[in-house]
């Protein structure tokens, strides 16, 4: 909102609104809707063809034709009401990340569907029994039925708005004093994440067939997060004016909503303007879903041939197996071989770490004699850290454990600091090295507690299995 000190305040509700306490939601709805309800009834009623009949239009065909045309006009009003409510939901949607157009339309349609309102279609209640009555009674009956249909439609529309208040799509406005106002409105913020790819296989094999067909479906979906926010604005020097008289700058979503407002409602619509003094945004809801971007299907044909061993006793087959079981056994043996090699490599690298640490300690004994020994000690220590990282990776591979890079680094942080602290404490010279190494060792021990707990959880299940 922008301040416009020079603009006329004739439209401000200074005389109609007195200082009031903040009302409850149930107290506010009737007071807000009742005056607008009556104005909308009058605007729609004046546009019905039946209202334009003169006293001379007394023939039955003219009366019923005007009645049918008025029902058609009410049905058009109903469509405009639904379009307006749909536009309100659309205007509340804010796209924060780029989306493919078809995916965006799907997300937008799902949000609009959540706030869809039902409005009854005006029914034609005329019949031959009514046409047999005198002209004056026909006119009165048709007028009453039109009035009832109009009142029902407008009441359903405002009841729908009341429901949308409770469902947090539209907000309320409250005037305090003459030109102080607070109001709230809602926005749906749309966020997306990385595209997910899901692969599902469906195998089909006949009992006596030598061909197995696998239908593989690869689905790409886009995770979507919808965040519902409540915006509360407080303004002073506030006033309201009609749509045609307003000078405020409107973003595209507001312009699209204004263009959807039908002619019979435009006289009741007001634009509030003023000087913003406080804004509060609060997240009131969050929903996660996904949009399917593409589905690809392929058929994979596997021919069932290969080795087909069996164990026989004379003419009796004790057991048999085929290429599938052989492939599975080969894969299991390969996995076990990799696990064994990983364990051996981890143990060997662990010994290398110990040897490099001892070499680092031996070289550090002579750092006071020559700087070359200090550089060699640093190189040995760095090599021991590298060997420790390789040993840990092989150990995790032998246990089929996958860790992210950040988790892996936090796992090694404790042992590395512990080794660095011990080497610092063992440096020759003054007591300064000892004092410097103690806090490093303490930090390493504290961080190693996490590493020890991780290794305990990693090895204890296997020990239980052997016992």
pLDDT digits (tens, 9 = 90+) for 409-446: 888 888 888 888 888 888 776 677 788 888 888 888 88
pLDDT for residue 57: 59
pLDDT for residue 153: 92
Which residue has 């991780």 as its token pair?
A: 454
pLDDT for residue 123: 85
Enumerate the H helices of 235-370 as residue ranges.
252-260, 323-364
* Residue 171 backbone class (left: φ over 0; alpha: ψ -120 to 50; beta: rest): beta
Contact 461, 425 (CB under 8 A): no
Which residue has 């009514």 as its token pair?
A: 130
Residue 23 banded pLDDT, cuts 50, 70, 90:
very low
Contact 39, 268 (CB under 8 A): yes
Who has greater pLDDT, 53 or 382?
382
Over range 46-73, report the average pLDDT: 82
Contact 272, 173 (CB under 8 A): yes
Over range 172-189, report the average pLDDT: 87
pLDDT for residue 81: 93
* Half-sphere exposure (Cβ direction) of 28: Cα atoms closer than 13 Å: 16
pLDDT for residue 31: 46
Residue 126 banded pLDDT, cuts 50, 70, 90:
confident
Residue 19 has pLDDT above 90, yes or no: no
Q: Quick one: how far is CA 134 from the chain centroid?
A: 63
Residue 462 has pLDDT above 80, yes or no: no
Over range 278-285, report the average pLDDT: 88
Residue 401 has pLDDT above 50, yes or no: yes
Task: Report d(CA 209, CA 115) in Å as an integer.
Answer: 54
Task: Report d(CA 261, CA 87) in Å as an integer.
Answer: 9
pLDDT for residue 51: 83
Task: Report d(CA 172, CA 192) in Å as an integer.
Answer: 30
pLDDT for residue 418: 86
Which residue has 């804010």 as its token pair?
A: 94
Torsions phi, psi for 149 (to 5 deg): -65, -40
Residue 376 has pLDDT above 80, yes or no: yes
pLDDT for residue 304: 62
Task: Report d(CA 352, CA 82) in Å as an integer.
Answer: 76
Contact 103, 294 (CB under 8 A): no
Question: For residue 177, what are the CA distances in angstroms to 122, 182, 218?
Answer: 42, 11, 62
The answer to which of 62-76, 104-118, 338-352, 447-461 has the lowest mean pLDDT is: 447-461
To 5 degrees, how large is the angle CA 177–CA 180–CA 185? 130
Task: Report d(CA 233, CA 220) in Å as an integer.
Answer: 41
CB atoms within 10 A of CB 139: 20
The two tokens of residue 6 are 């020079």
From the number of C-beta atoms within 10 Å of its C-beta (0-12, 13-18, 19+), residue 109 rates as exposed
Taking each continuous run of H as one helix and of E as one strand, the counts in the chain are 10, 8
47-56, 93-102, 192-201, 384-393 — most confident range = 384-393
pLDDT for residue 2: 40
- Mean predicted lDDT score pLDDT of the chain: 80
The two most distant CA atoms of the chain are separated, in Å, by 128
pLDDT for residue 29: 42
Neighbouring residues of 363: CB distance < 8 A, sequence distance ≥ 6: 373, 374, 376, 377, 380
What would the pLDDT profile of 186-204 be if each residue is shown by its tens digit? Answer: 989 888 887 888 888 787 7
Over range 339-349, report the average pLDDT: 88
pLDDT for residue 415: 87
Who has greater pLDDT, 165 or 430?
165
């Amino acid at each position: 909102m922008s301040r416009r000190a020079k603009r006329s305040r004739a439209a401000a509700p200074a005389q109609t609104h007195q200082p009031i306490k903040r009302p409850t939601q149930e107290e506010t709805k009737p007071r807000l809707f009742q005056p607008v309800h009556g104005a909308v009834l009058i605007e729609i009623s004046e546009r019905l063809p039946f209202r334009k009949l003169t006293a001379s239009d007394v023939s039955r065909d003219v009366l019923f034709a005007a009645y049918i045309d008025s029902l058609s006009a009410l049905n058009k009003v109903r469509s405009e009401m639904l379009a307006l409510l749909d536009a309100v939901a659309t205007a509340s949607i804010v796209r924060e990340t780029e989306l493919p157009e078809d995916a965006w339309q799907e997300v937008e349609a799902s949000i609009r569907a959540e706030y869809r309102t039902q409005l009854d279609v005006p029914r034609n209640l005329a019949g031959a029994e009514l046409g047999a009555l005198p002209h004056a009674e026909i006119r009165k009956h048709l007028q009453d039925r039109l009035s009832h249909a109009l009142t029902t439609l407008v009441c359903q529309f405002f009841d729908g708005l009341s429901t949308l208040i409770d469902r947090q799509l539209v907000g309320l406005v409250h005037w305090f004093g003459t030109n102080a106002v607070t109001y709230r409105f809602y926005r749906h913020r749309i966020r997306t994440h990385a595209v997910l790819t899901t692969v599902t296989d469906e195998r089909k094999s006949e009992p006596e067939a030598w061909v197995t067909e696998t239908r593989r479906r690869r689905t790409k979906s886009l995770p979507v997060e919808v965040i519902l926010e409540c915006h509360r604005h407080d303004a002073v020097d506030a006033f309201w004016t009609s749509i045609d008289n307003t000078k405020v700058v409107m973003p595209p979503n507001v312009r699209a909503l204004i263009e959807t407002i039908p002619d019979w409602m435009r006289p009741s619509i007001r634009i509030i303007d003023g000087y913003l003094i406080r804004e509060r945004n609060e997240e009131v809801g969050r929903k996660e879903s996904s949009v399917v971007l593409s589905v690809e299907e392929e058929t994979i044909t596997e021919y069932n041939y290969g080795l087909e061993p069996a164990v026989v006793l004379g003419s009796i087959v004790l057991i048999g197996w085929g290429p599938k079981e052989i492939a599975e056994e080969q894969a299991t043996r390969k996995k076990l071989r990799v696990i064994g090699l990983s364990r051996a490599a981890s143990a060997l690298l662990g010994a290398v770490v110990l040897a490099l640490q001892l070499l680092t300690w031996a070289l550090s004994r002579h750092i006071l004699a020559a700087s070359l020994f200090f550089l060699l000690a640093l190189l040995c220590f760095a090599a021991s850290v590298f060997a420790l990282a390789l040993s840990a990776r092989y150990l995790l591979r032998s246990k089929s454990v996958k860790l992210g890079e950040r988790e892996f680094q936090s796992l090694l942080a404790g042992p590395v600091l512990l080794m660095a602290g011990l080497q610092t404490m063992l440096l020759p010279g003054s007591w300064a090295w000892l004092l410097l190494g103690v806090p490093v060792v303490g930090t390493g021990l504290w961080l190693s507690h996490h590493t020890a707990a991780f290794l305990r959880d990693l090895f204890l299940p296997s020990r239980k299995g052997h016992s």
